């Protein structure tokens, strides 16, 4: 009886191993079904989802205008103190004082990409962009000023 058990154990062991190896052998010979992508080589075809949260950006139009009013709703919504808005007062052509942003400071190294600032913005001035290659040699390069130099607020945005 011992010999019978021993032989059946060996038989079952070998068949179960061969069963698994048939699967791996199938993919070894069918290389077209392999889905692995070689990342740095496939940069040209790599397409991330539109919603991918890579970093916060501030879209500007052709006239170099943004829609940020400097209300600091994003600054209050941020859990980590990533955003700092410095405001200034601009003179309108009518001679009135108007609040505007001087600089929109965004610290990528502190950002957890939680999207709460974008959700809080009442004028859709900021959005998430699908950029993910953020490595730099110096940490200070991750502190960004999002409004472009010389930009101003779009007409009609309050």
Partner 1 sequence: MYNQTEIIKDTTNLGPEGELVVNMGPQHPATHGVLHLVVTLNGETIKKIEPHLGYIHRSIEKMCESLTYRQFIYVTSRMDYLSSHINNTACALLVEKGMQIEVPERAKVVRTILNELTRIASHELWIGAMAMDLGAFTPFFYAFREREMITDIMEETCGARLTMNYIVPGGLMYDIHPDFQTKVKAFVKQFKEKVTEYEDLVTGNVIFQSRTKGVGVLTAEDAISYGCSGPVARASGVSCDIRKIAPYDAYDRVEFDEIVETAGDSFARYIVRVKEMNQSIHIIEQLIDNIPEGDFVGKTKNVLKLAKGEFYQRVETARGELGVYIVSEGGTTPYRIKFRSPGFSNLSVLDHIAKGSKIGDLMATMGTLDLVIPDIDR
In the complex, which residues of this chain contact partner 1 (CB under 8 A)?
9, 12-13, 16-17, 19-20, 22-24, 35, 48-49, 51-53, 77, 79, 112-116, 119, 128
Residue 17 or 145 with smaller CB distance to partner 1: 17
Of residues 59 and 79, the one with the C-beta less far from partner 1: 79
CB of 151 to partner 1, least distance (A): 26
> To the nearest whole angstrom, how small is the minimum distance from the Cβ of residue 43 to partner 1?
18
Q: Work out how close the CB of 27 gets to partner 1 at its nearest, in angstroms, rounded to a whole number.
A: 9
Pairing relation of β-strands 65-66 and 97-107?
A: unpaired
Nearer to partner 1, 20 or 59 (CB): 20
Q: Which residues does residue 127 pair with via DSSP β-bridges, in sequence order? A: 57
Residues 57/127, Cβ–Cβ less than 8 Å:
yes
Residue 105 sits at the vertex; the CA angle it makes with 99 and 107, to the nearest 5 degrees, is 155
Look up residue 45 and give its DSSP letter: T
Torsion angle of the four alpha carbons 48, 133, 149, 100, in this order, in degrees rounded to the nearest 10? 60
- Which of residues 74 and 153 has its CB atom nearest to partner 1 in the complex? 74
Closest by CA position to 83, among listed 150, 157, 143? 143
3-class DSSP assignment, residue 111? coil
Give least dist CB 141 to partner 1, A: 23
How do 127-129 and 55-57 pair as beta strands?
A: antiparallel
CB of 8 to partner 1, least distance (A): 11
Which residue number, 22 or 43, has a Cβ lying nearer to partner 1? Answer: 22
């Amino acid at each position: 009886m011992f010999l019978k058990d021993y032989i059946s154990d060996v038989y079952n062991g070998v068949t179960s191993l061969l069963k698994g190896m048939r699967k791996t052998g199938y993919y070894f010979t069918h290389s077209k079904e392999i889905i692995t992508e070689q990342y740095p080589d496939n940069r040209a075809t790599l397409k991330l989802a539109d919603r991918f949260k890579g970093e916060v950006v501030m879209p500007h139009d052709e006239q170099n205008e943004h829609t940020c009013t400097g209300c600091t709703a994003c600054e209050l919504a941020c859990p980590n103190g990533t955003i700092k808005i410095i405001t200034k007062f601009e003179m309108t052509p009518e001679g009135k004082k108007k609040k505007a942003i001087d600089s929109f400071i965004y610290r990528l190294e502190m950002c957890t990409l939680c999207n709460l600032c974008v959700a809080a913005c009442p004028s859709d001035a900021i959005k998430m962009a699908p950029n993910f290659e953020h490595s730099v040699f110096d940490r200070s390069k991750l502190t960004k000023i999002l409004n472009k130099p010389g930009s101003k607020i779009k007409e009609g945005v309050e």
